[in-house]
Amino acid sequence: MFSPSMLGGDFSRAGEDLEAIAASGADYAHFDVMDGQFVPEITFGAKFIEDLRPLSDLVFDVHLMIENPERHIERFIKAGADKITVHAESTRHLWRVLSMIKESGKDAGVAINPATSVSFIEPVLSIADSVLVMTVNPGWGGQKFIPQTVEKIKELDSRRAESGFDYTIGADGGVGRNNIQHLFQSGMDIAVMGTSFFNEEDKGSFLRSLEESVE
Ligand code: DX5
Ligand code: ZN
């Protein structure tokens, strides 16, 4: 499955970018919320998502790169998020935040930075609907993929098989034609793509060709 990231587009044409994501046949639209604290950049808040919500039936996949996300969960749910991913490094209350998201009937995701190991989130794997492995250091689009992160995808995949947990595994950062086959084979279910998606003229055939490359 694919989750193209709005960050790879042009915010002055956000509505058109969202339509392009839907027309490509992607399953999700990925929204990168940055607060200038957890990561250096600031992108947008809940209103951006709220204003775009009526334009699309896509699953809104909201990636919160913000400190203390527990303060903002309710607002992002109200804005129309279908899935909310919080960073394990951003809160002292990870279990509580994930529970808040789930109690609202939305999908709860946990993200880990390149320097964070899978064992750090082991206690919450039973309640997580998804795990997002950062394959770059979060904060900007267009960075170079960090190959060492693939081991964590494999570890999450085998942990899932042993335990019977049913989280999905995502990869975010520097994902594209060069590494997607390896990522899917390693256990990734959802590819987040900003730059590689928006660089393509024909986004639909791009996604289909990626799918074919892994079949
Ligand atoms: C990075 C963001 C990503 C970003 C990926 O901090 O979480 O979702 O949009 O962009 P690319 O695909 O350009 O690496
Ligand atoms: Zn992201």
> What pLDDT, on a 0 to 100 scale, did the predictor assign at position 214?
86
| CATH number of the domain located at residue range(s) 2-214 in this protein | 3.20.20.70
> What pLDDT, on a 0 to 100 scale, did the predictor assign at position 215?
78
pTM of the predicted model as reported, rounded to 2 decimal places: 0.98
CB of 193 closer than 6 angstroms to any ligand 1 atom: yes
Instruction: Among 6, 7, 28, 30, name the best residue to mutate to test ligand 1's pocket (greatest count of ligand atoms within 8 A of Cβ).
Output: 7
Residue 208: CB atoms within 10 A of its CB come to: 13
Listed residues: CB within 5 A of ion ligand 2: 32, 63, 172
pLDDT in tens, 120-165: 999 999 999 999 999 999 999 999 999 999 999 999 999 999 999 9
> Which residue in the list 17, 35, 61, 172 is annotated as catalytic?
172
The segments of the chain whose pLDDT lies below 70 read none
- Distances, alpha carbon 7 to alpha carbons 94, 129, 145, 165, in Å: 25, 23, 16, 31
> What pLDDT, on a 0 to 100 scale, did the predictor assign at position 11?
98
In the chain, what are the domain boundaries? Answer: 2-214
> Which residue in the list 17, 27, 32, 129 is annotated as catalytic?
32
17 neighbors 49 (Cβ within 8 angstroms): no
CB of 7 closer than 6 angstroms to any ligand 1 atom: yes
